[in-house]
Structure 1
Amino acid sequence: MTDLDRVLATVDADLDGALERLFAFLRIPSISTDRAYAADCRRAGQWLVDDLAGLGLTATLNDTPGHPVVTGISQLGTGKRVLFYGHYDVQPVDPLELWENPPFEPKIIEGPNGVKRIVARGSSDDKGQVMTFVEACRAYLKVTGTLPVDVTIMVEGEEENGSGNLPPFLEAHREELAADIALVCDTSMWNATTPAITVSLRGLMHDEIVVTCANRDLHSGYYGGAAANPLHVLSTIIGAVHGPDGRITIPGFYDGVVEPPDEVKAQWNALGLTPEVFLGPIGLSQPIGERGRSLVEMTTSRPTFEVNGMWGGYIGEGSKTVIPSIATAKISCRLVAGQNPVHVRDAVRAFVRSLIPADCTVEFRGGEGSPAVAVSHDNPNLAKASAALGDEWGKPAVTVGAGGSIPIVGHFKKTLDQDTLLIGFALDDDRIHSPNEKYDLASFHKGIRSWVRVLAALAA
């Protein structure tokens, strides 16, 4: 029997102990957004520090202007180091009356088809996921006295509150946090039996467009048909953004966008994500993105332009027949690797200005942005982790992008110059941020086993 086999067997034998430790962690109501729970957030951080110190790691509760950051560092001289990131803070539990059990009294229940579930706030997001990695390290140290690679564990307490104090913490601890690659366990599997590695996250540019025509609101009977209406102007501009093929018509918008490799597209197509599966649950049936693109491409590897809100004139009860003088739209663009947020902002603004009538003016309020981040598909650590997950789950890991943004990953690249593999074991039905949050027992158990395999593979 190899060391890997012995470590995996130890994980299986100590599952009850791992659950006891997780439940102790889950009982601490570490709600970061509510100041009333500040002491509980600190208590959760200290609980984790004590647990990591018990493994022989140099564990520290690092104070910040907000909630503390936990670090646990091994010094085994393995020649390779990984930085693991997670968070110990959780979302508020409101509305409390919708919980079937008290949110901070974890228990295992049996769900549909006999699936056992850990139910508690933070079970999936992110305490359960954090402990999969910690328990993998515990099993290695118990069996072999060492780890395949050196680890730096960093667990923050403000992820659910914007992570405002984490970027300066990274900057101040750059040397201490240096590693060959970062690992994040705060994402999902493709489905309950198919592991996934998220290798790209879309960036973001958001702006506010304000169009002004007349110098005051106008009587629509007296001026209607002659005076420019800023809502019409803004609607015309918004309507011109997308062509009939779904592509964005803004000149320069796609500058820098790179097509994924054909083999990756083939993998995505094989996933069989259909409009019925993806859009059906939200009451829709037809995708409106670029023609000839799969749903996975549309939502992960292609940039977007969306209107988040548009208003002007009278919107109260009843009617008021005016032509407004001002109309406003809030827009956001999800960006992909290769796009520059400033370049996209300037392209959008130039496009809008080109369509403003002579009598009207436009101003912009915002323009903030953050770039997308991506790991190269030929990164050797990606291949190793993917193979390890395949060994555990019995099928290849899916390499996917995420449509949203996780700012910490960008900070890892910008501040620490580290690529990140996002390997999580949550499921889409885990009800994170909602009442009755859960984490399948299999996600927890096989998540620990998966990290055991991934650490061994990264050491190779």
Structure 2
Amino acid sequence: MSDINPVLAYVDTHIDEALGRLLDLLRIKSISTDPAFAKDCAACAEWHARDLQSIGFEASARKTPGHPIVVGHDRSAPGYSVLFYGHYDVQPVDPLELWTHDPFEPVVETRSDGTKIIRGRGASDDKGQLMTFVEACRAFKAVHGKLPIPVSVLLEGEEESGGASLPMFLAANAAELKADIGLICDTSMWDPRTPAITTMLRGLCGEEVFITGPDRDLHSGFYGSAAANPNHVLARILADLRDADGRIAIPGFYDGVPELPPVLRRQWEALNFDASAFLGAVGLSIPAGEKGRSALEMVWSRPTCEINGMGGGYQGEGFKTVIPSKASAKISFRLVFDQDPHVVRKAFRAFVKERVPADCTVEFKEHGSGKAIRFDIGAPAFEKTRRALTEEWGAEAAYVGGGGSIPVNHELKSALGMDVILAGFALEDDRIHSPNEKYDLRSFHKGIRSWVRVLDALSR
């Protein structure tokens, strides 16, 4: 297709309709981690299947042991083929009291500078992002009656809860899903004006640990100091995870973690990342973590160990003087380069077991894993995408690292043997996984236009 201007014009004149569809999607409570919302997740999958069918895709919601996976194909055009991945599930909304409105009744707000944002759970992660691609396909079909290249769509319903069903699904459907390259829109811009392609992401290892002491909660006046307190035991173990310099103290944890290559370090330094502003935006000012490391280095190329949740004893209103029978914590490790999540998990469990008193017991629960991944940007598709993004945004698109984990990258690479281009339009202040999540209307609008340009560029 030699002229994409009519397609871009269609996007501009139909943006309100696209926004309406996104708002409808955001009203579906597709929280994958909570079994109470299983029907909502199924409904969300069916919504996507019907939407893809409405623009000519052969699409369906496929059953899995967990939540459904949506698959759609439109391969009527010849040429370079793509598989677009997104996820329709969202994070839980708690603490609910911190939301300014119902998280599943999305609203469009106008800020003091006149710009507009879409507020609601999933607005940025990942419903708003994935719909930028679907809307680009819709625009092509409306204007030209066809897509410029063969397109397949894969929408997962368990990304926010470990993605347990995806590896088996990919293995069983590899021949159907394989394409020349994967496309994912679940990442961020470098800044509000500069688009970015993420070329490396950290892996993930999630663990939950349970310490049990006495066989019931005890009166702290009768048993205090004499009885082991699981809260104390767990607190000591968690405190031991890092040393005084911020390094993670688990033996062998840094195996497979090299120093950052000088060339890459210079590229990142040229981005002029403002660490003070980065922390200041969330009400902090003092860098934590490993001493001697820059903030950008720590969030892109260094592994982490973070305590994501803790519980034990009475936590209701008022005060109750008990020694709890149980205490628990949720811990996540972000992994880099060649770290093996299974090796890290085994080392963590050994570290904990060594510190549990003889008359206490410990149990563990696994919460997903994935290896870090890097992509070779020498493939022509990467440069074509970078140029397309540059043309749309009027600023040179940057190749960047990413601090988050998108396990599907490794799964697509290993199961389907293809690289993935990660180009997203989220912003640092989108508050993903937090109350009052939002997505800039400009990100949504120009994200659609960006995918129009990318699909056209990949057809050449």
Instruction: Specify if TM > 0.5.
Output: yes
CA distance in 1, matches of 2:349, 2:124: 41
Partner of residue 54, structure 2: 51
Residue deviations 1:292-321, cap 9 Å, x none? 21112212321122344567789893656x
Partner of residue 208, structure 1: 209
* Residue 160 of structure 1, CA deviation: 6.0
Partner of residue 364, structure 2: 365
CA distance in 2, matches of 1:232, 1:157: 38
CA contact (8 A) 1:82 1:150 kept: yes
Residue deviations 1:202-240, cap 9 Å, x none? 3114252648699x989999996x998877666555444
Partner of residue 31, structure 1: 29
Partner of residue 99, structure 1: 101
Q: Compared with structure 1, are the counterparts of its residues 246 and 180 closer, same or farther at alpha carbon in structure 2 (3 Å cutoff)? A: same
Residue deviations 1:375-431, cap 9 Å, x none? 235442434433432333233333334333334334323432333222111223445
Aligned partner of 1:264: which letter? L
Residue deviations 1:259-279, cap 9 Å, x none? 343333233334444443233
Aligned partner of 2:63: which letter? T
CA distance in 2, matches of 1:188, 1:445: 15
Aligned partner of 1:48: which letter? D
CA contact (8 A) 2:203 2:370 kept: yes
Q: Compared with structure 1, are the counterparts of its residues 327 and 178 closer, same or farther at alpha carbon in structure 2 (3 Å cutoff)? A: closer
CA contact (8 A) 2:162 2:367 kept: no
Residue deviations 1:319-353, cap 9 Å, x none? 56x7x998765543222231112222333344455
CA contact (8 A) 1:22 1:128 kept: no
CA distance in 1, matches of 2:345, 2:50: 45
CA distance in 1, matches of 2:104, 2:320: 45
SS of the residue corresponding to residue 86 of structure 2 reads strand
Partner of residue 75, structure 2: 74
Residue segments in structure 1 that go unaligned for 5+ positions in a row: none
Matches within 5 A, 1:412-427: 412-427=412-427
SS of the residue corresponding to residue 249 of structure 1 reads coil
CA contact (8 A) 1:49 1:70 kept: no
Aligned partner of 2:14: which letter? G
Q: Compared with structure 1, are the counterparts of its residues 83 and 330 closer, same or farther at alpha carbon in structure 2 (3 Å cutoff)? A: closer
Q: Compared with structure 1, are the counterparts of its residues 121 and 341 closer, same or farther at alpha carbon in structure 2 (3 Å cutoff)? A: closer
SS of the residue corresponding to residue 304 of structure 2 reads coil
Matches within 5 A, 1:37-186: 37=40, 40-41=43-44, 44-53=47-56, 58-64=57-63, 66-67=67-68, 69-78=70-79, 80-88=80-88, 98-99=100-101, 103=105, 110-118=110-118, 123-140=123-140, 147-156=147-156, 165-186=165-186
CA distance in 2, matches of 1:386, 1:76: 23
Aligned residue pairs, count: 446
Q: Compared with structure 1, are the counterparts of its residues 209 and 259 closer, same or farther at alpha carbon in structure 2 (3 Å cutoff)? A: farther
Percent of residue pairs identical? 45
CA contact (8 A) 1:132 1:451 kept: yes
Matches within 5 A, 1:307-386: 307-308=307-308, 317=319, 319=321, 330-352=330-352, 363-366=362-365, 369-380=368-379, 381-386=381-386
What is the aligned-residue RMSD (CA, Å)?
A: 4.4
CA distance in 1, matches of 2:234, 2:434: 36
CA distance in 2, matches of 1:18, 1:442: 11
CA contact (8 A) 2:213 2:228 kept: no
TM-score, normalised to structure 1's length? 0.77
* Residue 255 of structure 1, CA deviation: 0.8
Q: Compared with structure 1, are the counterparts of its residues 32 and 163 closer, same or farther at alpha carbon in structure 2 (3 Å cutoff)? A: farther
SS of the residue corresponding to residue 382 of structure 2 reads helix
Q: Compared with structure 1, are the counterparts of its residues 92 and 27 closer, same or farther at alpha carbon in structure 2 (3 Å cutoff)? A: farther
CA contact (8 A) 1:375 1:420 kept: no
Residue segments in structure 2 that go unaligned for 5+ positions in a row: 32-36
Partner of residue 17, structure 2: 20
CA distance in 2, matches of 1:367, 1:434: 23
* Residue 11 of structure 1, CA deviation: 0.5
Q: Compared with structure 1, are the counterparts of its residues 135 and 243 closer, same or farther at alpha carbon in structure 2 (3 Å cutoff)? A: same
CA contact (8 A) 1:275 1:286 kept: no
Partner of residue 287, structure 1: 287
Q: Compared with structure 1, are the counterparts of its residues 86 and 445 closer, same or farther at alpha carbon in structure 2 (3 Å cutoff)? A: same
* Residue 92 of structure 1, CA deviation: 8.1
Q: Compared with structure 1, are the counterparts of its residues 349 and 191 closer, same or farther at alpha carbon in structure 2 (3 Å cutoff)? A: same
Matches within 5 A, 1:195-274: 195-199=195-199, 200-208=201-209, 210=211, 237-274=237-274
SS of the residue corresponding to residue 176 of structure 1 reads helix
Q: Which moved more, 1:285-294 or 1:35-44?
A: 35-44
Q: Compared with structure 1, are the counterparts of its residues 383 and 259 closer, same or farther at alpha carbon in structure 2 (3 Å cutoff)? A: farther
* Residue 149 of structure 1, CA deviation: 3.7
Greater Cα radius of gyration, structure 1 or 2: 1
Q: Compared with structure 1, are the counterparts of its residues 125 and 454 closer, same or farther at alpha carbon in structure 2 (3 Å cutoff)? A: same
CA distance in 2, matches of 1:180, 1:39: 30
CA distance in 2, matches of 1:24, 1:313: 45
Q: Which moved more, 1:397-406 or 1:226-235?
A: 226-235
CA contact (8 A) 1:83 1:154 kept: yes
